[in-house]
Amino acid sequence: KNEVEQSPQNLTAQEGEFITINCSYSVGISALHWLQQHPGGGIVSLFMLSSGKKKHGRLIATINIQEKHSSLHITASHPRDSAVYICAVGTNFGNEKLTFGTGTRLTIIP
């Protein structure tokens, strides 16, 4: 069993839909990261959080430490949101050595 599991693996939705991507992990963590990777592109950090909720524009990330679960939400989705979204956890407060999930491929259809 992977330490970090994401669901769904693939998600296709219509433009404007509310999107939820889930991440479950099995280890104690110092922080959880959500990252975005466009095809052929680099990885962009979206959020780093260790408790509660963070919001940036149309993106919202939440984490429940007790349940070892995090969600990434996208409101009013747009085709430019199409990318792979990756959840990663750090287990050491001293560094950002991360364990990554395999990602969720999101496709938003106009």
Partner 1 sequence: GAGVSQTPSNKVTEKGKYVELRCDPISGHTALYWYRQSLGQGPEFLIYFQGTGAADDSGLPNDRFFAVRPEGSVSTLKIQRTERGDSAVYLCASSLRVKGADSGANVLTFGAGSRLTVL
Residues that bind partner 1 (CB under 8 A): 4, 30-31, 33, 35, 41-45, 48-51, 86, 88, 90, 93, 95-103
Q: How far is CA 84 from CA 14, 29, 67, 94, 98, in A?
A: 16, 23, 24, 27, 17
- Whole-angstrom distance, CA of residue 63 vs CA of residue 57: 18
**Could you tell me which residues come within 8 angstroms of residue 95 by beta carbon, excluding any fewer than 6 positions away?**
none
Nearest approach in angstroms of CB 14 to partner 1 is 26
Nearer to partner 1, 16 or 41 (CB): 41
Nearer to partner 1, 45 or 75 (CB): 45
Nearer to partner 1, 16 or 52 (CB): 52
Nearest approach in angstroms of CB 95 to partner 1 is 6
